[in-house]
Chain A
Amino acid sequence: MLDGLYAAAAGMNAQQLQLDNVANNLANISTTGYHAQRTAFTDLLYNQINEAGTDTTDGAGAAARDIGDVEVEGSLQRTEAPLDLAIEGQGFFELQRANGSTVLTRDGSFQLDSKRQIVSADGSVLQPPITLPAGVSAEQVKIASNGAVTAEGRTLGTIAVVDVPAPNALLAAGNGQFTVTQASGAATPVAGASVIQGALEGSNVDMGSEMATMIDTQRSYQMGSSAVKIEGEMMSIANQLRA
């Protein structure tokens, strides 16, 4: 009888994880380049019960896991800021953090640092590093769709757009940045990616579907709690058996 109690509790735990995920997605509904996270449910091990010649199986409930992002691209928002960039299609910008580690991001809200280098909002340097010569203002920078950066007719460098074979296996590193893992494969340049100047990729969180998932999750959680209650009541009935 306790099996059912734990199965129901495991199901509640799984729903709890999904609710956490929904909350995180909703919180990031305005985060540039954010991609909604998905939760996957699986069943758990099964027990074969062979009491008194019966042949009943009972399962141990359910589990939930994060399985990466929703692949749909967020809608582009025009900002007209010269260093706001969006990637159309798959791929990431490559950044080097202050500690030397390389991270990937789709958040293309860049700016100039004190050394006139193009950096992300948290100060990580866009790769390969591009420095604006003295006297050239950000407004004069033109970025072509292949990533080529020019100002006043001078070529300053080319912004790389990279991608990994399995983007869902990237490790989130905060600030909309990701690190490459063994499961994701190495980052390689993308052929034919298009960079758009003066626009940012909005969050791809779909408010409607997240709300629907939230309601569904809450109801499932409630049912799980009813199941726990019923299993509890069964135990109390069994406990009232006495001579």
Chain B
Amino acid sequence: MDLGLFIAASGMVAEQARQDQLANDLANGSTPGYKADESSQHSFGQILLSNTASGAPVGAITIGVESGKSYTDLAAAPMHETGEPLDFAIEGEGFFAVKTTQGVRYTRDGQFAVSAGGLLTDSFGNDVLSPTGAPIKVNSDGTVDPTAIGVSKVGGAVKQGENLFTGTPEGQASATVRSGSLEESGVNLVETMVEMMASLRSFQSGQQAIQAINETLQAAATQVGSVTVS
């Protein structure tokens, strides 16, 4: 069959994946410490066309596009003041470490609380860890010294939901923790919206291409060899 059909369809599939990511980014426009996803699109390998009669090479053609590996944009987002004693933001690179039932996880969301036992926890009740990996006690006046909170360097951070990341710890990062502030979501809403529209139109172009090829094929199937008397 016509190769073009499949090239156009692969482009549509890639745009679909992109659109899903963009929708998720947009939904997390208010999530503190959220990091936006990016995905690359790249072409499948090329194939060489040759003249069927003479065997002479015609040139190369790429056979479509695919979504590549997605990566998370870990750049620090702006902070905003909340005035809450147990809101913390990391100035610079690194993650807060929290102890979950599945092991240590990392987060940039510093919206912390105090447990019944007087320990600093994240909003799901997981203990926040100090630089030495111990739980942190909240002072009787309801505050915590920001320097008591550990900031870990994490390699290969991957999102797992509930604002948590998994990854390999690589020691303490040299970042400053600020109390009374939260890191905003890393999503640029306007940019995301524009990308969604661009992606939509690319998707539509793919559909148009399929339509056009379909019409050519239809002509080939029904008109070639027909005799019309004019």
Contacts and interface: CB of A to CB of B under 8 A. Distances in A.
A7 B207 contact: no
Contacts of B83: 70, 72
Given A60-B24, A72-B83, A238 B29 contact: no
Nearest to B72: A57
A98 interface: no
B58 interface: no
A71 B84 contact: yes
A10 B141 CA distance: 37
B123 interface: yes
A166 B113 contact: yes
Contacts of B113: 67-68, 166, 168-169
Interface in A51-83: 51-62, 64-65, 67-68, 70-72
Contact of B207 (A55, A216, A240): A240
A90 B142 contact: yes
Given A41-B28, A237-B203, A166 B115 contact: yes
A54 B67 contact: yes
Contact of A168 (B37, B114, B141, B160): B114
B230 to A, nearest CB: 29
Interface in B10-63: 12-13, 15-17, 19-24, 26-32, 34, 37, 39
B27 A61 contact: yes
A40 B111 CA distance: 8
B103 interface: no
A22 to B, nearest CB: 12
A185 interface: yes
A219 B85 CA distance: 28
Contacts of A61: 23-24, 27-28
Interface in B62-86: 66-70, 83-86
Interface residues of B, number: 61
B116 interface: yes
B197 interface: yes
A1 to B, nearest CB: 5
30 contacts: A4-B24, A8-B27, A10-B27, A11-B28, A11-B29, A41-B32, A42-B162, A44-B161, A46-B161, A54-B68, A56-B21, A57-B70, A58-B17, A58-B21, A61-B27, A62-B27, A62-B30, A68-B113, A71-B84, A71-B86, A90-B141, A165-B117, A183-B115, A226-B196, A231-B23, A234-B203, A237-B203, A237-B207, A241-B207, A241-B210
Interface of A: 1, 3-5, 7-8, 10-12, 14-15, 18, 38, 40-46, 49, 51-62, 64-65, 67-68, 70-72, 90, 164-169, 182-185, 216-217, 219-220, 223-224, 226-227, 230-231, 233-234, 237-238, 240-241, 243
In the complex, the 3 A-B pairs of residues with the closest C-beta atoms, listed nearest first:
A11-B27, A185-B116, A4-B23
Interface of B: 12-13, 15-17, 19-24, 26-32, 34, 37, 39, 66-70, 83-86, 109, 111, 113-118, 123, 125, 141-142, 158-163, 185, 189, 193, 196-197, 200, 203-204, 207, 210-211, 214, 218
